[in-house]
Chain A
Amino acid sequence: MFDKNEIKKIKQLREQWENSTIKKTLERFPERKDKFVSGSGEEVDRLYAPDNLEDFDYFKDLNFPGEYPYTRGVQPTMYRGRLWTMRQYAGFGTAEESNKRYKYLLTQGQTGLSIAFDLPTQIGYDSDHPMSLGEVGKVGVAIDSLKDMETLFDGIPLDRVSTSMTINAPAAVLLAMYIAVAEKQGVSPDKLKGTIQNDILKEYIARGTYIFPPYPSMRLITNIFEFCSKEMPSWNAISISGYHIREAGATAIQEVAFTLADGIAYVEAAIKSGLKVDDFAPRLSFFFNAHNDLLEEVAKFRAARRLWARIMKERFGAKNKKSLMLRFHTQTAGCTLTAQQPDNNIIRVTIQALAAVLGGTQSLHTNSRDEALALPAEDSVRIALRTQQIIAYESGVTETIDPLAGSYYIEVLTKNIEEQALKYIEKIDKLGGAPRAIEKGFIQQEIQNSAYQYQKEIEEGKRIVVGVNKFQIKEETPKGLLRVDPEVGRRQVEKLRELKETRDNQKVKVSLSALGRAAKTDANLIPFILDCVKSYVTLGEICDVLRSEFGEYKESIKL
């Protein structure tokens, strides 16, 4: 893009500038640090100019929005056409309480739902399972059967909202329940819009809500891909998640690398199961973190988009434009929130949300200021949502597409992140792909090393966290934190007992044994699971049948 002679001249004059002006300045005023680094530890130079982008090619590296390799965004008009979906992750206690929170958020101008399930639900245990004691309704809503799901979406028209569900190991069961609730509202599956997380690999890597071993888990995932490609054209069959990988301590580069490596594994599994790449790839979606280093994060989103487009085209030969587009949800970084001076978190979230928007996100969750202390209270959630609305309607960054493109620094960062992530992906390929690299503990160990490094930097004062290792104050105990009523667990168990007494238990038996038989074959399990949930078979009962067929995953621990 830059003229060769021009670059030569810049190089020459830069050298002069470094040797005279800078040298003299440094003698009188040394810089604040010997080495400047980005949020994820990459060295940052004093100045970026065209000579850092010698081989930069506008059409190859950027092109127009909505055009390959989609660096500038997946839609041709981006936020000028439509703003991102404002989607706050929420859910706690019983289905009744969560339903109330969703309705509140929708009246406050939120444009999509995002369901948080409690841990027993995420791990396929009913509320009355011994492992569920003390956990029911704590980090999300407790769902045991279709009955709870009907309550959860009561009065919410599923043909008009889009819903994202953070559910992985038992994703097929919750998807089936969603379809069944919609059916009762008179909405057919092809009208449903939303996303199911359905990303088991990052559960083994970073999040921990796995049930089955990798092989049968990948089967359930590709079963969902196949089902969705036929029945649910507007549904995202997976949300390949870097979010939790970053939360566990990964750097920006590792986040991109490990997420896309997982993505490659899903594409390979789906192709192996007999699907054609362009039949399912358009419904793959992604989920990234937005951390504090504003510019590095913007570059990260751009780099991820470009790298995925190139992988899909060159490695998998995808032809459909939609197969090449990396569409993603973003959540601001929970791990950057501090328990100290929690109001400061509002500012952190603002910077992170801005990064996501400048990076071209399709939907966004902004964290609440009190999340290092407890589940967010209603007024904190409102401020978090208002943060997005202020960026959307007041900041002006939405008025033109990819406004930071062409910044020397942003383009250098974008290129570096793409190159380094690709190196990691090549390494993972050599190890036999993401599932093997996870089995060997390689990915986990890389993340742990970064997490430990990060902590050490804070403790050595090399990394400043305002209010934690600098600018501390004496603080009062925070008030008004949200607490989940301990009665929730008891009430949920009571509801479950009632359900088991009143449902048609013959139908339960028949549909469960049909599922058990199908699990032994190569059949797509989704229709069988759908039959089960419609007969009010519980989540735990379905997962128990699959546990006995598939076995359970045991994590490999390396410190």
Chain B
Amino acid sequence: MKAKKIRVLVAKPGLDGHDRGAKVVARALRDAGMEVIYTGLRQTPRQIVETAIQEDVNVIGLSILSGAHTHLFPEIMRLLKENKAEDIIVIAGGVIPEEDIPELKKVGIAEIFTPGTDTRDIINFIKEKVK
């Protein structure tokens, strides 16, 4: 029997339009055999959480380069909890200063991938976590 494919939602919360990273990662995950859904731009935290639950994903990958992560990431984590979907693993990337990372991990983001990340590290991380 074939193993069930890992399902990932790649999401762009907020107003940021930089989607090169999100799209490259989405494609790399797909090439690594995962089922990838990409939300497109300007998603509210609520929309992202709803889509994640509807699509029954294992992982949400968030991308922000605008600096709004300090507000939007915790809000997404709060909504996941509110909807009893804390089992979804949340990872994030973008222009995120090192000093913000501990706070984001505290609210439940599993890992932050900063600029220069090798997509294979993201793939391995997901495969390791979703078992």
Q: How far is the CA of A481 from the CA of B36 in the complex (A)?
A: 34
Task: Say yes or no: is B42 at the interface (Cβ < 8 Å to chain A).
Answer: yes
- Taking a contact as CB atoms under 8 Å apart, the answer to whether B99 and A477 are in contact is yes
Task: Say yes or no: is B41 at the interface (Cβ < 8 Å to chain A).
Answer: yes
Contacts of B38 in A (CB 8 A): 557, 559
- Taking a contact as CB atoms under 8 Å apart, the answer to whether B41 and A119 are in contact is no
Task: Say yes or no: is B19 at the interface (Cβ < 8 Å to chain A).
Answer: yes
Q: How far is the CA of A46 from the CA of B19 in the complex (A)?
A: 37
- Binary contact readout A471-500 vs B (1 if CB under 8 angstroms, 0 otherwise): 000000110010110100000000000000
Task: Say yes or no: is B24 at the interface (Cβ < 8 Å to chain A).
Answer: yes
Contacts of A131 in B (CB 8 A): 14-15, 42, 44
Task: Say yes or no: is B124 at the interface (Cβ < 8 Å to chain A).
Answer: no
- Taking a contact as CB atoms under 8 Å apart, the answer to whether A374 and B97 are in contact is yes
Which of the candidate stretches A176-184, A269-277, A420-428, A448-456 sits at the interface with the other chain? Answer: A448-456
- Taking a contact as CB atoms under 8 Å apart, the answer to whether A338 and B115 are in contact is yes
Within B67-84, the residues touching A (CB, 8 Å) are 67-68, 70-72
Which of the candidate stretches A68-76, A133-141, A228-236, A278-286 sits at the interface with the other chain? Answer: A133-141
Q: How far is the CA of A505 from the CA of B26 in the complex (A)?
A: 48
Task: Say yes or no: is A468 at the interface (Cβ < 8 Å to chain B).
Answer: yes
Task: Say yes or no: is B87 at the interface (Cβ < 8 Å to chain A).
Answer: no
- Taking a contact as CB atoms under 8 Å apart, the answer to whether B66 and A135 are in contact is yes
Q: How far is the CA of A132 from the CA of B120 in the complex (A)?
A: 34
Question: Chain B nearest CB: distance from A60 CB in Å?
Answer: 38
Contacts of A125 in B (CB 8 A): 15
Question: Chain A nearest CB: distance from B79 CB in Å?
Answer: 14
From A130, A247, A483, residue with most partner B Cβ within 10 Å: A483
Closest to A249 in B: B20
Q: How far is the CA of A261 from the CA of B44 in the complex (A)?
A: 33
Task: Say yes or no: is A57 at the interface (Cβ < 8 Å to chain B).
Answer: no
- Taking a contact as CB atoms under 8 Å apart, the answer to whether A484 and B67 are in contact is yes
Task: Say yes or no: is A248 at the interface (Cβ < 8 Å to chain B).
Answer: yes
- Taking a contact as CB atoms under 8 Å apart, the answer to whether B20 and A335 are in contact is yes
- Binary contact readout B18-37 vs A (1 if CB under 8 angstroms, 0 otherwise): 11100110111010000010
- Taking a contact as CB atoms under 8 Å apart, the answer to whether A119 and B95 are in contact is no
Task: Say yes or no: is A372 at the interface (Cβ < 8 Å to chain B).
Answer: yes
Contacts of B18 in A (CB 8 A): 208, 247
Within A501-530, the residues touching B (CB, 8 Å) are none
- Taking a contact as CB atoms under 8 Å apart, the answer to whether A119 and B97 are in contact is no
Contacts of B116 in A (CB 8 A): 338-340, 372, 465, 468
The size of the chain B interface, using a CB distance under 8 A, is: 35
- Taking a contact as CB atoms under 8 Å apart, the answer to whether A451 and B118 are in contact is no
- Taking a contact as CB atoms under 8 Å apart, the answer to whether A459 and B67 are in contact is no
Question: Chain A nearest CB: distance from B42 CB in Å?
Answer: 7
Closest to B72 in A: A134
Contacts of B98 in A (CB 8 A): 477-478
Closest to A478 in B: B98
Interface of B (DSSP majority class): loop
Question: Chain A nearest CB: distance from B28 CB in Å?
Answer: 7
Contact of A448 among B23, B36, B41, B68 (CB under 8 A): B23
Closest to A454 in B: B24
| Contacts known (A131-B42, A559-B30); A486 close to B70, Cβ less than 8 A | yes
Contacts of B30 in A (CB 8 A): 559
Contacts of A335 in B (CB 8 A): 20
- Binary contact readout B89-100 vs A (1 if CB under 8 angstroms, 0 otherwise): 000000101110
Contacts of B97 in A (CB 8 A): 373-374, 481, 483
Question: Chain A nearest CB: distance from B50 CB in Å?
Answer: 16
Task: Say yes or no: is B111 at the interface (Cβ < 8 Å to chain A).
Answer: no
Task: Say yes or no: is B119 at the interface (Cβ < 8 Å to chain A).
Answer: yes
Closest to A92 in B: B67
| Contacts known (A373-B97, A486-B70); A557 close to B28, Cβ less than 8 A | no
- Taking a contact as CB atoms under 8 Å apart, the answer to whether A208 and B41 are in contact is yes
Contact of A119 among B14, B44, B99 (CB under 8 A): B14
- Taking a contact as CB atoms under 8 Å apart, the answer to whether A208 and B20 are in contact is no
| Contacts known (A120-B15, A139-B67); A452 close to B118, Cβ less than 8 A | no
Contacts of A203 in B (CB 8 A): 17
Task: Say yes or no: is A375 at the interface (Cβ < 8 Å to chain B).
Answer: yes
Task: Say yes or no: is A207 at the interface (Cβ < 8 Å to chain B).
Answer: yes
- Taking a contact as CB atoms under 8 Å apart, the answer to whether B27 and A207 are in contact is no
Contacts of A557 in B (CB 8 A): 38, 40
Task: Say yes or no: is A332 at the interface (Cβ < 8 Å to chain B).
Answer: no
Contacts of B70 in A (CB 8 A): 134, 486
- Taking a contact as CB atoms under 8 Å apart, the answer to whether A375 and B120 are in contact is no
Q: How far is the CA of A381 from the CA of B49 in the complex (A)?
A: 39
Contacts of B115 in A (CB 8 A): 338-339, 372
Contacts of B68 in A (CB 8 A): 119, 134-135, 138
Contact of B20 among A248, A481, A484 (CB under 8 A): A248
Question: Chain B nearest CB: distance from A280 CB in Å?
Answer: 27
From A134, A203, A335, A468, residue with most partner B Cβ within 10 Å: A134
Closest to A123 in B: B15
Closest to A486 in B: B70
Question: Chain A nearest CB: distance from B104 CB in Å?
Answer: 13
Task: Say yes or no: is A555 at the interface (Cβ < 8 Å to chain B).
Answer: yes
Q: How far is the CA of A222 from the CA of B41 in the complex (A)?
A: 27
Closest to B118 in A: A459
* Residues of A near any B CB (own CB < 8 A): 119-120, 122-123, 125, 130-135, 138-139, 203, 206-209, 247-249, 335, 338-340, 372-375, 448, 451-452, 455, 459, 465, 468-469, 477-478, 481, 483-484, 486, 555, 557, 559
Further 18 A-B residue pairs, CB within 8 A, beyond A208-B16, A335-B20, A452-B28: A130-B44, A131-B42, A135-B68, A135-B71, A138-B68, A208-B41, A208-B42, A209-B17, A248-B19, A338-B116, A372-B115, A373-B95, A451-B23, A455-B119, A555-B40, A559-B26, A559-B27, A559-B36
The 10 nearest A-B residue pairs measured at CB: A208-B17, A134-B71, A119-B15, A138-B67, A134-B68, A339-B115, A477-B98, A468-B116, A557-B40, A135-B68
Query: Could you list 25 A-B pairs, sorted by A, with CB under 8 Å?
Result: A119-B66, A134-B70, A134-B71, A135-B66, A135-B68, A138-B68, A203-B17, A209-B17, A247-B18, A374-B67, A448-B23, A448-B27, A452-B24, A452-B27, A452-B28, A455-B28, A459-B118, A465-B116, A477-B98, A481-B97, A483-B97, A484-B67, A557-B40, A559-B23, A559-B36
